[in-house]
Amino acid sequence: MSTTSQNQNALLLLVQQLQQELQNQRSEITSLRDSVTQLQLQLQSRPHSNDAQTRVRARLPDPPKFDGKPHTLRTWLPSIRAKLRSDQLTGADAFDYVWDRLEQPQQASILHLREQSEELSDWDPEQIFLFFQRLCHNPRE
């Protein structure tokens, strides 16, 4: 082989290597663009939060379980409502949480409300609060 032929072959080989490298970089760019697009979509699907929401909130302690005594209802109700608000519990989650914060005899006394909520899919914890307010109502206060 002549020197010119060897130079042409070497040049051709170099061009092929550069073309392959260019193709590899194009593939990598396409892959990175796809990743960026996916991350942007994930970011857009997250709820927007302001500074107040991003700060870590102190968690309220669980209120004691309600024992059915009228004098404890006066402090238990504000505590349980504050807990529901601070933990942002609503619907069935709120109902179940309130249910869990009742002693067993009190759970038994509102079993009909739980069954009714399941039938109607109406999970309003206010039903529980109203029941105990009526039950513990003292007209002398």
Give 79-122 pLDDT, tens digit per residue: 999 999 999 999 999 999 999 999 999 999 999 999 999 999 99
Q: What DSSP element (H or E) covers 126? A: helix 126-135
Q: What is the pLDDT of residue 54?
A: 53
Tokens 């029941």 appear where? 131
* 35-44, 51-60, 116-125: segment of lowest average pLDDT: 51-60
107 class by beta-carbon count within 10 Å (0-12 exposed, 13-18 middle, 19+ buried): middle
Domain ranges of the chain: 3-46, 70-135
Residue 110, CB half-sphere, CA atoms under 13 Å: how many?
Answer: 29
CB-CB contact of 94 with 84 (8 Å): yes
pLDDT exceeding 90 applies to what percent of the chain? 56
Give 66-90 pLDDT, tens digit per residue: 999 999 999 999 999 999 999 999 9
Whether the predicted model's global pTM rises above the 0.85 cut: no
